[in-house]
Structure 1
Amino acid sequence: MIRIAVQSKGRLADDTMYLLDEADIKINAKRRTLLVQSSNFPLEVLYLRDDDIPQSVSTGVADLGIVGENEYVERGGKAEIVKRLGFSKCRLSLAIPKALEYNGLEWFNGKKIATSYPVILHEFLEKNNIKAEIHVITGSVEISPGIGLADAIFDIVSSGSTLVSNNLKEVEVVMKSEALLIANKSLSDEKRTILNQMLFRFEAVMNAVDKKYVRMNAPKASLRAIIEVLPGLKSPTIIPLADDDWCSIHTVLDEKRFWEIIGKLKELGAQGILVTPIEKMIL
């Protein structure tokens, strides 16, 4: 049995539970007790505040944790980073009132900055020789300039809508963050084995993100040109058809370039293009 600490609520919590579910690790979401055991995998989930997860893993209270990189760095990062998970992306940024003119980092000299991330902010200011006062606050950091508590803020930014609603503008991105899978550095061989089994499932889920399985019929005369257009994992699968002048082509496309590539395939004579989502992909 291995124990994983996850955030008890919020976007990262939702993304984490979605990953576990897609990896077929069943957790009873209705039982929101502190500790819940999976019904089909040797895993138990420990629900914690996000800022408690790094320490719980580094001290061995939990074997694993899924936590935002921002919290991992702020709390000292003493656990092992096993994998970057690619979801719950955000950034830690400096923001000032929208009406003020910004002329570079020197603007912050002598200013008071409100934040929930004093360690990361202090390191950044020191590195850039900026002398500013750090005002530590929990909760709604973004309201600080509006009520005269600080001149600027240093906080998480995702869509930026919270800044806009508080008449703030983002002026410096200090670090980018995403969800991390972290582990205690003293895991037993048995727990490492379970971790590797879980990683195998996670990677199969993550490999399928934004991927489409595409099948099409195409004239053999255009086959070489079509293959050059396709950016598949390796070479596409080519299947002969009853008509000797045609073949069926199967491949995987990334959704980011999907429409661009489909347009080129149509120009080269591809027909009957069938697109289906991919749930898991094992490389």
Structure 2
Amino acid sequence: MVLKIAIQKSGRLNEDSMKLLKECGIDIANGVNKLKAEANNFPLEVYFLRDDDIPQYVEDGVADIGFVGENVVYEKNKKVQVVEQLGFGKCRLSIAVARNEEYNDVNFLHGKRIATSYPVIVKKFMQERGVEAEIHEISGSVEIAPGIGLAHAICDLVSSGSTLFMNGLKEVETILRSQAVLIKSIGFTEEKQRLLDKLLFRIKAVKKAKNNKYVLLNAPDDKLDEIIRLLPGMKSPSVLPLAQSGWSSVHSVLNENDFWDIIEKLKEAGAQGILVVPIEKMIV
């Protein structure tokens, strides 16, 4: 029994997907231009497919699971289940108009023509807001549509916004914030689910590690209680006496989001010799 996974055959999602599997300790022998590969040390078979095709392959059961952008999942609207957000491939699906347009709210788009590669998502967004707009589906180079008179606005994926700027556009509405997700087919056997649970266990350990840092510091014993209160840790900080009397070594784990605020407070509380170490895996 093997778990069949579909991932993008080229591009950024391919690189990040393969990196995640490697960080999960899964060794995949992937030859050049191969559309199928097997893991050497985990019951996993990898199919390399077009991103847009992955939800269909998973719905049909050709692949059991897939790594794919949320934007593709919602646009294709197939019978699949989103199991886990993967934390990479982050972008947003946004509406943009010409920079010289005076845009106040979504009603600006009433009666306008919108060019997009995501007609299903855009149509739903407009219907929910009671706005009647003409959705013009095009497959590429969406950002040039207003400049050539094809549309009054566009809806496309945005990362930095530089492409919009270079084409004289401004971002005015965010429809969807997207990232890579793990999807699975609806008809999953218990045996397949056990394999998926093993893979998810590894993925969550890798994700948890990326969001946390291991911190070691020296603390004067008379400030120990105050410093410990600042350190949440997984349960509580580890405290070890140092050779120098009156000092202890404190070990803990900090979340990336709170890291700098807590480090500053630790310094103010008297902590010294603070070391920060990346965590490869984190099992809780």
Map of 1:74 onto structure 2: 75
CA distance in 1, matches of 2:78, 2:210: 28
After superposition, what is the alpha-carbon deviation per residue over 1:177-227, rounded to whole angstroms, capped at 9, x for unaligned? Answer: 111111111122221111111111101100011321111111111011101
User: Using the alignment, how far apart are the partners of 1:146 and 1:55 within structure 2?
Assistant: 34
Q: Secondary structure at the match of 1:44?
A: strand
Q: Counterpart in 1 of 2:147?
A: 146
Alignment partners' CA distance in 2, 1:51 and 1:118:
14
TM value normalised by structure 2? 0.96
The CA distance in 2 between the partners of 1:187 and 1:32, in whole Å, is 30
Quick one: distance in 2 between partners of 1:186 and 1:103?
46
Alignment of 1:12-51 (within 5 A): 12-51=13-52
Unaligned runs of 5+ in 2: none
Point out 4+ residue stretches in structure 1 off by more than 4 angstroms.
none
Distance (whole Å) between structure 1 residues aligned to residue 78 and residue 225 of structure 2: 50
Distance in 1, matches of 2:153 and 2:273, equals 56
DSSP-derived class of the 1:208 partner = helix
Residue 181 of structure 2 corresponds to which residue in structure 1?
180
The CA distance in 1 between the partners of 2:3 and 2:211, in whole Å, is 30
Change over 3 Å in CA distance of 1:103–1:266 after alignment to 2: closer
Kindly provide the CA deviation profile for residues 98-153 of structure 1, in whole angstroms up to 9, marking residues without a partner as x: 11111211111111100011111111111111111110000111111111111110
Per-residue CA deviations over 1:56-77 (Å, capped at 9, x if unaligned) read 1011010001111111011114
Asked if 1:88 corresponds to 2:83, the answer is no
Within 1, Cα distance between the matches of 2:159 and 2:15? 16
CA separation in 1, counterparts of 2:131 and 2:255? 43
**Partner of 1:67: helix, strand, or coil?**
strand
Residue identity (%): 54
- Spell out the pairing of 1:193-204 with structure 2 (5 A cutoff): 193-204=194-205
Please give the alpha-carbon distance, in whole angstroms, between the structure 1 residues aligned to 2:109 and 2:102: 12
CA distance in 2, matches of 1:234, 1:152: 51
Once the 2 structures are TM-superposed, how far is the Cα of residue 263 of structure 1 from its aligned partner? 2.1
Alignment of 1:1-283 (within 5 A): 1-283=2-284
Cα offsets for 1:40-88 (capped at 9, x unmatched): 1111111111111111101101000111111101111411221111221
Q: Return the letter of the residue paired with 1:51.
A: D
Cα distance in 2 for partners of 1:130, 1:272 equals 59
Cα distance in 2, alignment partners of residues 202 and 101 from structure 1: 45
Partner Cα separation in structure 2 for residue 84 and residue 46 of structure 1: 20
CA distance in 2, matches of 1:186, 1:243: 62
Deviations 1:142-166 (A, max 9, x none): 1111111111101111111111111
